[in-house]
Amino acid sequence: MNTNDTYKKLAYSLRILQLGETPKARRLLEKLAGEAPENADVYNALGALCYDEGDLDAARAALHACVALAPEHPLANATLGELALRRKDGAAAARHFEITLRSKAAGIERIQQWVKVLWTLASAPSSRGATNESASMPR
């Protein structure tokens, strides 16, 4: 899949999540992970969503897929560090947090990319009372 298409679909999935349709957003991200298995950011978004839902095993699996593709991914490593702390695995937590800190420069660029995506979503017209039809799937 073309990188632009992947990020359009990723932004759409995040918009659906913003509209409060968490199960639909998760299904879209899982589908997108199958369509763009080379994109670490898709796995990071899926992992973050699963983490927020409390599905820690799925979060861990998605985040490990992310760092397999992008070992220095700061957001995925930070979340993996949090998961390791929850399991009382201090060594793994330290390793992931160390990677997060070491990749600070790369992390700033990646975080800036995410801020642009999120800013675009936040700048969209108000979605109060929105339905499934109010957010159209990018092509």
Q: Which residue type is seen at 112?
A: Q
pLDDT of residue 134: 43
Helix (H) and strand (E) counts for the chain? 7, 0
Q: What's the pTM?
A: 0.75
pLDDT in tens, 47-63: 999 999 999 999 999 99
Domain 3-121 - what CATH class?
mainly alpha
* Confidence band for 36, pLDDT divided at 50, 70 and 90: very high
Q: How much is the mean pLDDT over the chain?
A: 83
Give burial (CB, 10 Å; 0-12/13-18/19+) of 18.
Answer: middle
Summarised one tens digit per residue, pLDDT across range 98-121 is 888 887 655 566 666 666 665 665
